[in-house]
Amino acid sequence: AFHLWLAKLNPFHSCAVIKDPDGCLLTEYLYDRHRVKPVICVRHPTAFVASYLHHGFPWDLPELAGQPALIDDYFGGDGSLFEVDPEDRVAGAAVLWLALNRVLLEQCSRHPDWIVVVHEELCKAPVPTFRRLFDQLGLPWSSRVARAICRQTGAHNKAEARSWQDHHRDSAALFALRREMLTTAEREKVFAITGAVASRIYPQESFGVTSDRRDYMTSAA
């Protein structure tokens, strides 16, 4: 709130960009109540899971399972999806990806003015993808913005950040780096859990799995 108040003091500021990866289930509320224009960034499940394991993030599945309205509205009243062994961090992170993206993509289908961007597209072609987002959001684009994006995402950077404050990455190399942090068996597990939703965006071969797991995709739907 302080930074928003501070930004409003600048007469050249016309909008505020809010990044809140932890509050994505508030998206529709913010859209309906405060007219926030959502940009949903979908990341490949294997990269998402690898990041969770790498950084040691919690996945808070009991908190999701404890919301009856959420279970009724988006999971057919069946909360068994969230019954994951706490020791199985791969499965826990994969279920979190499935749950959040099932909700968000269903909400997107109700609101055609929402913007969906695929993280891997953003990483592979950052300048044209950001340029498109700027145009869709009515944000001012300039050569200075383009240079800043190139500076922070180019191949001269390392794929892995040195710290939380390091925002310079070789973005094109990031997906392969994250996916290869998982074993083939772990990628198969991620595909088995997330495939029913992920297949709307990602082909099976992007998971780097060696066998056909479409039977799991059906059971996870």
pLDDT 10s digits, 146-161: 999 999 999 998 888 7
Cβ atoms of 92 and 56 closer than 8 Å: no
Could you write out the DSSP letters of every residue in 104-152? HHHHHHH-TTSEEEEHHHHHHSHHHHHHHHHHHHTPPP-HHHHHHHHHH
Whether pLDDT at 218 is above 60: no
pTM over 0.95: no
Cβ atoms of 181 and 54 closer than 8 Å: yes
- Taking 3-state DSSP, the helix, strand and coil percentages for the chain, each rounded to the nearest 5, stand at 60, 5, 35
Per DSSP, what are the bridge partners of residue 31? none
Q: Six-digit token pair at 110? A: 């109700």
Per DSSP, what are the bridge partners of residue 115? 39
DSSP 3-state of 39: strand
Residue type, position 59, single letter: W
Mean pLDDT of 55-59: 81
Whether pLDDT at 205 is above 60: yes
Percentage above 90 pLDDT, the chain:
69
pLDDT band for 48, please (50, 70, 90 cuts): very high
